[in-house]
């Protein structure tokens, strides 16, 4: 449209006069266009136009406040021309508005929430032109208010580009209202209006458009990367003006799925997402609360959650505010359809209702649904596709940097009041707390605090606090270390009791074979840590019974110092069915995949497989599960070392299980007299003379005995000595060696216990 002369007219309806738009015929202009209205050679005013069928072509209608502001009279001829905004310089960052009741007779003393008022203002006047000194009428809570624009600041262009805010503030005379503009209301000097809320004072920009978000003030640590990724995927489209988003054909992300181990900050993150957005107060729903015993009530509960968003979208369209709905424990209501044992099918209909609301025929574009679960495998597949829960974010265990942030957050208050001793090193604690979740780190701080407070309690006939000493209360390093060792253990960490029982007597290096096994184990540990090409390393320790395979496997695992070490042992699965055993083994491997570095010891594989030579018989279900899990590579960025032990290599060979291991290490029994004497010397149970006598009697004899059995025989012979000593018939030194040799005699001259591989008869 070129410069065109039009005639000023009166606004045709009261509703249109509240829109702050100039009204024209659709034959002259289109709704949403911006125009300059030149009233005199030196006076120009910018308006956004709206079309209406009652306005005749060649006319442009204004409301009374607009005519007052621009000095227009009915029938006056004005020059009208298109006006284009420079989006990089003229988007409104903050606008200060003076407000008062439109009519003095309608005044009241009720407080008006300026935050809600600002949100409603942005929705009503989104994508409209505003000028300093402009006057308009605003309807809020069935009251009419007269407004006057006092001041306009431009939005920082670097924010729109996704960069850090430069902090520069630039005043402008004319600006374009966008969804992320900030509106500040100030009541007129003589007004009796009462304003409450934050929007009555000028403050910082809304956090949704500020990448430099302060996580520590929010109480979140270790999730910087996740927040950044969510911001990029879910909120970037909400930062830009709606018309730009519409031109790109871009739809907002409607759903975010947060999953991961318990206690890692999923609920906390969802709660803070609601705070960091310029949106309604989030609706937080626990999954089981949706379910109702009456038919149709569960689905009605889902519909109620979306009712406000539907009503607002119908009323305001693209200018509708963002409605956030947070589902905690989503797996409680959104299980895979068709898997419920109940004949009612309630879960299925709830899933159907949720699917139709998020992305059904009547799509809502003003919602953000955040779901949280520890079990993403249970969620119905239809919910996980783009358009529904499109952004899937794993909230995993925090790394060392994240643990420093979390511990800093939970000790900040103590530090500010000088209740944290100088010897407490947060970085040291972060290094010691591998595989601790955020909740467990918070629990560690609480446990240390209770330990420190307990020192100042006098436990006499009554429990009293020693006030003199309590004033000097400080939480020290020893309090944290004590809690670390005794009180708080990570659910996905190393349970030292698991493997300490296997090496309670230490590792007895009776010869080169043992040293070689430990050296090979160290090489495998380094390969797991350092190699990016082989994130999965599996080794099998095989040898005769009682040769110390499990102890060596536990020792290699302990030496690895990996944050996750678990022993998958048949003794923990006594009485399990085949399916239960498969699930227990799978859980160990799944948990291992949640840690950066993990070591799993699969002990006594033939016992796990229920193998017996009579029949022969074994559990094919467990065998297939183990074959899959042993070959399954961990997720990207994770490393896994698997150490298996077996006494029946021949059986595993027949089952084609040896191929699942990267390498096999043979562990022999003690096979020479010299090795036996070396073992006795390391154990220190006999004198030099007794060992010499044993060596003399074993000379030239063949030996085949496991270190585990040797320990039992030594303890038995020592009990013989103790029995004679207590009875008063002291046994002479050479005699004890004779006793030992007699006990060994049953274990000498033996062949290895391996039996030849048997052919299976199709069992």
**In the structure encoding, which two tokens stand for residue 607, read together?**
């016992």
CA 641/CA 524 separation, integer angstroms? 8
Compute CA 397 distance to the chain's CA centroid, rounded to the nearest angstrom: 7
Q: Which of 604, 639, 645, 649 is catalytic?
A: 604
Q: Which listed residue (631, 689, 742, 758) is catalytic?
A: 631
Residue 732 C-beta-side C-alpha neighbours within 13 Å: 3
For residues 178 and 244, give the distance between their C-alpha atoms in angstroms, rounded to a whole number. Answer: 11
CA Rg, the chain, in Å? 38
Alpha-carbon distance of 569 to 657, in angstroms, equals 18
Identify whether 738 is a catalytic site residue.
no
Catalytic residue, from 489, 529, 708, 709: name it. Answer: 708
Reported as type and span, the H/E element at residue 145 is: strand 143-154
Q: How far apart are CA 493 and CA 471, in angstroms?
A: 37
β-partners of residue 55 are none
587 is catalytic: no
Is-catalytic flag, 672?
no
d(CA 235, CA 252): 8
Q: Of 433, 451, 494, 550, which residue is the catalytic one?
A: 550
590 is catalytic: no
Among 603, 639, 646, 649, which one carries the catalytic annotation? 603
Residue 543 neighbours by CB under 8 Å, 6+ apart: 549, 647, 666, 667, 668, 669
- Residue 485 tokens, joined: 């060792």
Show Cβ contacts of residue 652 under 8 Å, excluding neighbours closer than 6 positions. 540, 542, 605, 606, 646, 658
Quickly tell me which residue has 């279900």 as its tokens: 621
Enter the tokens of residue 143. 């009251």
Active-site residue flag, 266: no
Rounded CA gap, 393 and 260, in Å? Answer: 8
Which token pair is 261?
A: 């181990």
Report whether 487 contacts 447 (CB < 8 A): yes
Q: Are 298 and 346 in contact (CB under 8 A)?
A: yes
In the numeric block, which tokens belong to residue 445? 């701080």
Length of the chain: 763
Element (H, E) at 549: helix 549-560
Contact by Cβ (8 Å): 677, 690? no
631 counts as catalytic: yes
DSSP type of residue 612: B
312 DSSP assignment: H
Which of the residues are catalytic?
549-550, 603-604, 631, 708
């Amino acid at each position: 449209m070129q410069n065109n002369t039009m005639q000023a007219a009166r606004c045709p309806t009261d509703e249109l006069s509240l829109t702050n738009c100039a009204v024209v015929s659709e034959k002259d202009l289109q709704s949403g266009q911006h125009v300059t209205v030149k009233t005199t050679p030196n006076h120009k005013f910018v308006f956004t136009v709206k079309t209406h069928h009652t306005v005749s072509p060649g006319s442009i209608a204004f409301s009374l406040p607009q005519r007052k502001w621009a000095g227009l009279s009915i029938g006056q001829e004005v020059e009208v021309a298109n006006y284009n905004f420079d989006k990089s310089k003229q988007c409104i960052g903050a606008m200060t508005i003076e407000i008062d009741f439109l009519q003095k007779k309608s005044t009241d003393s009720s407080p008006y929430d300026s935050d809600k008022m600002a949100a409603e203002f942005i929705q009503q006047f989104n994508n409209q032109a505003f000028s300093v000194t402009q006057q308009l009428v605003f309807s809020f809570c069935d009251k009419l208010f007269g407004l006057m624009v006092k001041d306009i600041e431009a939005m920082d262009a670097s924010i729109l580009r996704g960069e850090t805010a430069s902090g520069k503030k630039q005043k402008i005379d004319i600006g374009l209202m966008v969804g992320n503009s900030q509106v500040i209301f100030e009541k007129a000097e003589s007004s009796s209006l009462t304003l409450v809320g934050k929007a009555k004072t000028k403050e910082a920009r809304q956090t949704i458009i500020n990448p430099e978000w302060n996580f520590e003030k929010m109480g979140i640590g270790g999730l910087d990367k996740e927040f950044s990724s969510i911001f990029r995927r879910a909120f970037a489209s909400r930062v830009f003006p709606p018309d730009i988003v519409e031109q790109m054909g871009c739809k907002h992300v409607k759903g975010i799925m947060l999953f991961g181990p318990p206690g890692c900050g999923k609920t906390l993150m969802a709660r803070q997402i609601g705070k960091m957005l310029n949106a309604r107060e989030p609706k937080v729903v626990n999954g089981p609360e949706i379910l109702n015993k009456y038919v149709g009530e569960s689905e009605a509960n889902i519909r109620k959650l979306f009712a406000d968003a539907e009503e607002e979208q119908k009323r305001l369209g693209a200018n509708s505010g963002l409605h956030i709905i947070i589902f905690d424990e989503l797996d409680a209501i959104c299980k895979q359809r068709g898997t419920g044992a109940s004949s009612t099918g309630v879960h299925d209909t709830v899933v159907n209702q949720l699917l139709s609301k998020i992305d059904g025929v009547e799509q809502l574009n003003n919602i953000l649904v955040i779901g949280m679960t520890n079990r993403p495998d249970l969620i119905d597949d239809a919910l996980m596709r783009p358009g529904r829960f499109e952004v899937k974010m794993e909230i995993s265990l925090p790394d060392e940097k994240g643990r420093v942030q979390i511990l800093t957050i939970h000790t900040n208050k103590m530090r500010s009041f000088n209740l944290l001793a100088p010897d407490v090193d947060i970085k040291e604690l972060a290094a010691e707390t591998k595989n601790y979740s955020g909740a467990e780190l918070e629990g560690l701080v609480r446990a240390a605090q209770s330990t420190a407070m307990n020192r100042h309690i006098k436990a006499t006939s009554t429990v009293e606090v020693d006030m003199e000493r309590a004033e000097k209360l400080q939480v020290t390093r020893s309090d944290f270390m004590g809690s670390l060792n005794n009180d708080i253990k990570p659910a996905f960490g190393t349970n030292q009791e698991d493997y300490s029982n296997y090496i309670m007597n230490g590792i007895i290096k009776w010869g080169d074979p043992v040293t070689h096994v430990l050296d090979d184990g160290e090489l495998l540990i380094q390969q797991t840590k350092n190699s990016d090409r082989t994130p999965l390393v599996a080794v099998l320790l095989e040898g005769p019974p009682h040769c110390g395979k499990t102890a060596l496997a536990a020792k290699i695992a302990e030496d690895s110092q990996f944050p996750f070490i678990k022993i998958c042992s048949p003794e923990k699965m006594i009485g399990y069915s085949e399916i239960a055993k498969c699930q227990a083994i799978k859980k160990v491997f799944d948990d291992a995949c949640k840690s950066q570095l993990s070591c799993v010891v699969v002990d006594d594989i033939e016992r796990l497989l229920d193998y017996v030579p009579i029949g022969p018989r074994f559990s094919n279900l467990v065998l297939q599960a183990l074959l899959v899990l042993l070959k399954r590579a961990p997720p990207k960025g994770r490393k896994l070392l698997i150490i298996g032990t077996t006494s029946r290599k021949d059986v595993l060979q027949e089952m084609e299980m040896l191929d699942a291991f990267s390498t096999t290490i043979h562990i022999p029994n003690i096979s020479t007299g010299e090795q036996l004497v070396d073992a006795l010397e390391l154990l220190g149970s006999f004198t030099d003379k007794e060992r010499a006598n044993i060596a003399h009697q074993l000379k030239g004899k063949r030996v085949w005995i496991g270190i585990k059995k040797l320990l039992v025989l030594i303890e038995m012979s020592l009990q013989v000595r103790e029995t004679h000593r207590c009875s008063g018939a002291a046994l002479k030194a050479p005699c004890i060696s004779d006793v030992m040799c007699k006990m060994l005699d049953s274990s000498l001259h033996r062949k290895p216990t391996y039996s030849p591989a048997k052919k299976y008869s199709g069992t």
